[in-house]
Amino acid sequence: EDQVTQSPEALRLQEGESSSLNCSYTVSGLRGLFWYRQDPGKGPEFLFTLYSAGEEKEKERLKATLTKKESFLHITAPKPEDSATYLCAVQDSAAGNKLTFGGGTRVLVKP
Amino acid sequence: DSGVTQTPKHLITATGQRVTLRCSPRSGDLSVYWYQQSLDQGLQFLIQYYNGEERAKGNILERFSAQQFPDLHSELNLSSLELGDSALYFCASSPSGTHTEAFFGQGTRLTVV
């Protein structure tokens, strides 16, 4: 069974204090690994898709990387508006393209 | 505004009842995805439709069913409701059959009492 574990569960940062979020996964056939941002009471917002180990993608202060067992979301010099829950998900091509989400990391950036 | 419209926004119903949640995808998007988000289970993928056909299936209960109509809107039917079905139900859409750049609606909050 596919498993996705995100750590830490919660992260408190000072504005400008860079950090990384971890997403460890077990999947039979990785079709894609997705990162989303979710604000309270709203639907998730797509950030990145990574397809193969070694791939990296960037968007503003966020950078996502992928290895064969985990993905990292690096937040560089965060601002208070980066406060959100960040979700990681894997899509398994060997399981009918089923999508499995991790529990998320709640990030709070204080000014 | 993501362009994905879900109705209703809130729904309160009793155990044993049946409800229908509706989703209108973004213009031009062929795929619709349904998700359930609860405090104890997190975000769970339920089912995906692509251009009217079922494309992928997640942890969808047998009491739940979905369909996508010719105009590409989708409905999620939940029957024999239990207290544990109380959750946020999200719909997302994307142009292709993959989850890449799927846009989510604001969700329907279902409360079963």
What is the tens place of the pLDDT at every residue in B9-22?
A: 999 999 999 999 99
The span from the CA of A18 to the CA of A26, in Å, is 27
With 80 as the cut, is the pLDDT of residue B101 above it?
Answer: no
How sure is the predictor about B59, in pLDDT bands with cuts at 50, 70 and 90?
confident
A101 and B44 within 8 Å at the Cβ level: the answer is yes
**Residue A96 confidence (pLDDT):** 77
The span from the CA of B24 to the CA of B73, in Å, is 5
Type of residue found at B113: V
Does B102 lie at the interface with A, CB-CB under 8 angstroms? yes
Chain B residues touching A49 at Cβ < 8 A: 98-101
Does B23 lie at the interface with A, CB-CB under 8 angstroms? no
Chain B residues touching A87 at Cβ < 8 A: 43
The span from the CA of B30 to the CA of B52, in Å, is 8
A7 or B58, which is more confident?
A7
**Residue A95 confidence (pLDDT):** 81
Phi, psi of B60 (to 5 degrees): -90, 130
Chain A residues touching B45 at Cβ < 8 A: 89, 98-101
**Residue A98 confidence (pLDDT):** 82
pLDDT digits 0-9 by tens, A56-90? 999 999 999 999 999 999 999 999 999 999 999 99
**Residue B96 confidence (pLDDT):** 81
Average pLDDT over residues B61-82: 97
Chain A residue at shortest CA distance from B93: A46
Contact status, residue A7 vs residue A19, Cβ threshold 8 Å: no
